[in-house]
Amino acid sequence: MKAAPDPRAVREASLDELDRLALPLPPPTFPLVWEPGDQVELRPTAELEARAAVLHVVVARCFGMPTEAAMSWLLNSKLVDFVTPPEWQFLSLANGDHRSFVLHHDAVFALAWLLGLSRHLDPTAPPEERLMSQMPDLPAGELFNSWRSRALVAPRDPVDAAVLLDLYYCADWAFQEAERSGDQLPGEVDSNAIGQRRWALEWAVTFHGPFHEAPPEWEEVDLSV
């Protein structure tokens, strides 16, 4: 656990970046993600790896991975307990919004960045082409522990992750506002992708201080603000 950086200085940098990208700026009342004096850390590496792997399977299921193969992989990888109820409904019964589960590809990208498997998490750029090769090779039957041995992750500094979380927190508002206004977006991604990346960062980066509750579970992450 580390001391979180000055949230006001980080916010200034986030707003400067939005301005550079010609995106609308949130109002002055837009809340900070953390308070001065808070501490920050990433969730345990094994949890980050498990969440990334489960979402990778969810996305694969969207693109034709058979139910039996997905469930067998999760069972043999001992990851069934890491699957959320909505994910379970989708994986086992194909229930749920298929399009929303496809979007999880960008959440996987953010988790890959946190694990040091992606070089960048640029809010104007799509996921790296090599992302799929950095994740478990599902067609080859590479199980979770084998992938972990191959991937050799190097998690990011939690301070760097917090700084990027603040940028995505502001960018989530800015991209949605730009789309509502019909403004041109600065790159190749839209607000859906930004929201997915923010979701992963909000879940993975945890703060400790007098104004923070226990870190939310994946499905409990609040993206409404």
**Stretch (H or E) spanning 75:** helix 67-76
Cα separation of 123 and 125, whole Å? Answer: 6
CB 114 within 8 A of CB 160: no
Six-digit token string for 30: 């837009």
State in Å, rounded, how far the first CA of the chain is from the last one: 26
Cα separation of 225 and 138, whole Å? Answer: 36
pLDDT of residue 125: 96
pLDDT of residue 225: 79
Cα separation of 12 and 159, whole Å? Answer: 16
CB 137 within 8 A of CB 224: no
| Among 40, 49, 50, residue whose Cα is nearest residue 165 | 40
Six-digit token string for 22: 């010609």
Six-digit token string for 2: 């580390």
| Among 207, 173, 165, residue whose Cα is nearest residue 11 | 165
pLDDT of residue 210: 93
pLDDT of residue 98: 86
Amino acid (1-letter code) at residue 65 = M
The stretches in the chain having pLDDT less than 70 are: none
Phi then psi for 73, rounded to 5 degrees?
A: -65, -45
pLDDT of residue 94: 86
210: alpha, beta or left? (left if phi > 0; alpha if psi -120 to 50) = alpha
Greatest Cα-to-Cα distance within the chain, rounded to the nearest angstrom: 51
Cα separation of 132 and 136, whole Å? Answer: 8
Name the CA radius of gyration of the chain, rounded: 18
pLDDT of residue 118: 95
Q: Kindly report the pTM of this predicted structure.
A: 0.96
